[in-house]
Amino acid sequence: MLETHDLRKVYPTGDEALTSISTTIEGKEFVAMIGPSGAGKSTFVRCINRLTEPTSGTVELDGTDLTALSSAELRDARRNIGMIFQEYNLVERLTVMENVLSGRLGYVSNWAAFRRKFPQEDIELAYEILELVGLGGMENKRVDELSGGQRQRVGIARAVVQNPKILLADEPTSSLDPETSHDVMELLTDIATDHDIPVLINIHEVDLAVGYADRLLGLHDGELVFDGTPEELTDDTHGVIYRGEELTTTEAKRAIPAGGRR
């Protein structure tokens, strides 16, 4: 289970990217974070694994306060957090298999990592995950020979092979065509369900979020202004998220409960 408590991020310029966000993500939940550009979506995702350091507040994963960990402790903790990047973040000159196995680097010694030597069970797991994401038989292809959708599948496979406790995705469909975007969303949904891994995705395409997510988090100007199901995303709540409008009394009942969803 992931819990954030009063998570806040203020940049040296004084810009407040996140304002005291508290929420909980657990089980097989597929959670999509939506909101306008600059709302703080990417910052929130990156604060969870401390790719961006939060200014204050806490991030807890299964009871471990990630914000209190030393660099060495954080390296170990990141094994439990799978991360899928918008721009894939792959090593182009390496093969699909080599990129996927990089998800196991946190489990081997530095010397083994340098030599790219992995236990046989890690290699077998990588083959299984490649089949899962539809890349079976492509393990020896160089990543720079792949399409954008295939590269994103490699990134997903790399994250899943970690056996993480949560899967984070930062705009994984932004550079993909509509059909491939649906394929990626279906894949992430299946992973959440079949592997009991909660998924938190930052996404701009509201239709994809509504079509695939179990739950939506809406951010506006760094503030969590909506926490509900896709069915609860009405025209009024959409206006709150994207235009900063005030909720009516009726719609206010559907907005984020005090302290975030329990």
pLDDT in tens, 85-120: 887 889 989 999 999 998 888 776 665 665 677 889
* pLDDT tops 60 at residue 249: no
Side chain identity at 20, as an amino acid letter? S
pLDDT average, residue stretch 44-62? 95
The three-state secondary structure class of 84 is: strand
**Token pair for 209:** 């979020």
Question: Residue ranges per domain, the chain?
Answer: 2-252
Helices and strands of the chain, counted as H and E runs: 10, 10
pLDDT number for residue 109:
64
CATH class (in words) of the domain with range 2-252: alpha beta
pLDDT average, residue stretch 138-167? 93
Mean of all residue pLDDT scores within the chain: 89
Task: Tell me the percentage of the chain whose pLDDT exceeds 70.
Answer: 91
* pLDDT tops 60 at residue 229: yes
pLDDT number for residue 27:
86
Contact 224, 31 (CB under 8 A): no
Per-residue DSSP letter, 70? -
pLDDT average, residue stretch 140-162? 93
pLDDT average, residue stretch 143-151? 92
pLDDT number for residue 164:
93
pLDDT average, residue stretch 26-44? 94
- In whole angstroms, how far apart are CA 38 and each of 42, 99, 135, 223? 9, 31, 34, 11
Q: State the number of CA atoms in the 13 A half-sphere of 66 facing the CB.
A: 27
Beta bridge partners of 4: 23, 59
Contact 31, 200 (CB under 8 A): yes
Query: Which residues, other chains included, contact 153 with Cβ-Cβ below 8 Å and sequence gap of 6+?
Result: 133, 134, 135, 184, 187
pLDDT number for residue 117:
76
pLDDT number for residue 165:
93
pTM over 0.75: yes
Strands (E) across the chain are located at 2-10, 16-25, 30-34, 56-61, 64-65, 81-84, 166-170, 199-202, 215-220, 223-228
pLDDT number for residue 111:
55
Q: Which residue has the higher pLDDT, 197 or 248?
A: 197
pLDDT number for residue 244:
85
